[in-house]
């Protein structure tokens, strides 16, 4: 039986993992000058990466270039494995607006040396999120505006129609390798406009006219 909205509002406490997809917007792939991926690029964040409004984003150790990436997050309401695309949306309990913060200099080093991305993607405070958004508030998650401002200046402005791999496909694909559990969050990628933030900056992000969030960037030590 699907979880109640009251339970899902506590996704950060009951979920066991954050599964994230890289390079899933055509506009972002283009700005990176990368080829269109043939299958989803997957990485994982721990739940200790969550940050909520009122808490600060911090630089990870050794990072001098921190980037913002605004994303739609899918909150799993009903767990499962080997989920079909046809039934995938039945496993969605709701949504969050999320930021996939990226230590760009650490990521570039990892890519150059063939290392995993965890130190550049998965440190504590690397996943700022909004409050839980009930499923019926987003009847068409495949056509939503995503935007992000830094100190009031618009940096990212995209739409989920630009996704390379749509939500049902991602749920099905991930469930073949990972047991999806109630409260888990799937980050679905970011549109173009990714760029740096500095100590003291304020990030504001929004999902159409449904929800917006603000986060400040803490000290770079």
Domains of the chain: residue spans and CATH: 5-216 (3.90.850.10)
For residues 1-10, one letter each, b for 16 or more C-beta atoms within 10 angstroms of the residue's C-beta and e for the rest, the string is eebeeebbbe
d(CA 2, CA 174): 19
Please report the pLDDT score of residue 221 as a whole number.
58
pLDDT in tens, 101-156: 999 999 999 999 999 999 999 999 999 999 999 999 999 999 999 999 999 999 99
Task: Give me the pLDDT at residue 1, please.
Answer: 45
Residue 103 corresponds to which tokens in the numbers above? 């230590």
Share of the chain above pLDDT 70, in %: 98
> d(Cα 165, Cα 188) in Å, to the nearest integer?
9
Average pLDDT over residues 211-220: 92
- pLDDT of 173 higher than 70: yes
**Stretch 81-90: mean pLDDT:** 98
Is 50 exceeded by the pLDDT of residue 190? yes
């Amino acid at each position: 039986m699907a979880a109640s909205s009251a339970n899902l509002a506590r996704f950060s406490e009951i979920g066991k993992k954050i599964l994230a997809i890289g390079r899933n917007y055509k506009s972002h792939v283009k700005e990176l000058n990368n080829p269109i991926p043939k299958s989803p690029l997957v990485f994982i964040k721990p739940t200790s990466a969550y940050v909520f409004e009122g808490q600060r984003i911090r630089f990870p150790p050794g990072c001098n270039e921190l980037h913002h990436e605004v994303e739609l997050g899918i909150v799993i309401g009903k767990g499962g494995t080997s989920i079909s695309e046809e039934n995938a949306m039945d496993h969605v309990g709701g949504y969050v607006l999320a930021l996939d913060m990226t230590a760009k200099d650490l990521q570039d080093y990892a890519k150059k040396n063939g290392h995993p991305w965890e130190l550049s993607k998965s440190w504590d405070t690397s996943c700022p999120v909004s409050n839980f958004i009930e499923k019926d508030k987003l009847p068409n998650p495949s056509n939503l505006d995503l935007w992000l401002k830094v100190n009031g200046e618009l940096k990212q402005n995209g739409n989920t129609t630009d996704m390379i791999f749509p939500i049902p496909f991602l749920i099905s694909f991930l469930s073949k390798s990972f047991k999806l559990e109630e409260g888990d969050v799937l980050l679905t990628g970011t549109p173009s406009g990714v760029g740096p933030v500095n100590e003291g900056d304020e990030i504001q992000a929004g999902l159409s006219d449904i929800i917006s969030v603000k986060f400040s960037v803490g000290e770079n030590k």
